[in-house]
């Protein structure tokens, strides 16, 4: 139970850094053109942030970030993600995940 609590707290800190930045680095919530799915809050996210970037196809963003060593995944309006993307009028987005073994520097 203690390990599970520590993991959840660590992942919440990572998501907070991803969403709101650290030091002089902006988080996703402050970056121009980044559109988050859901609130700019770590609560309830369970280690995942989904987003799209205005003016860039999600597949191109996945490739762009991947070429720079940032691993993200595309989510499409299908039977897995359609219940979220469909009502938003989106065909796709990208998903960024963190886990207990990630560091703030990686985020």
Domain count, the chain: 1
Burial 72-88 (b: 16+ CB within 10 A, else e): beebebeeebeeebeee
Domain interval for residue 34: 1-106
pLDDT recorded at residue 21: 95
Q: Which CATH number does the domain housing residue 21 bear?
A: 3.90.1150.10
Neighbouring C-alpha atoms within 13 Å toward the C-beta of 66? 11
Residue 42 has pLDDT above 90, yes or no: no
Residue 3, H or E segment: helix 2-20
pLDDT digits (tens, 9 = 90+) for 47-106: 899 999 999 999 999 999 999 999 899 999 888 888 889 999 999 999 999 999 999 998
Q: Per-residue pLDDT for 43 more than 90?
A: no
């Amino acid at each position: 139970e203690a390990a599970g609590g520590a993991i959840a707290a660590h992942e919440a800190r990572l998501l907070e850094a991803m969403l709101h930045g650290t030091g002089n680095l902006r988080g996703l919530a402050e970056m121009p053109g980044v559109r988050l799915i859901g609130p700019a809050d770590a609560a309830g996210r369970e280690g995942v942030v989904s987003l799209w970037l205005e003016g860039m196809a999600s597949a191109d963003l996945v490739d762009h970030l991947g070429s720079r060593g940032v691993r993200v995944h595309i989510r499409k309006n299908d039977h897995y993600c359609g219940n979220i993307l469909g009502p938003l009028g989106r065909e796709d987005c990208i998903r960024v995940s963190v886990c207990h073994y990630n560091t703030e520097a990686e985020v």
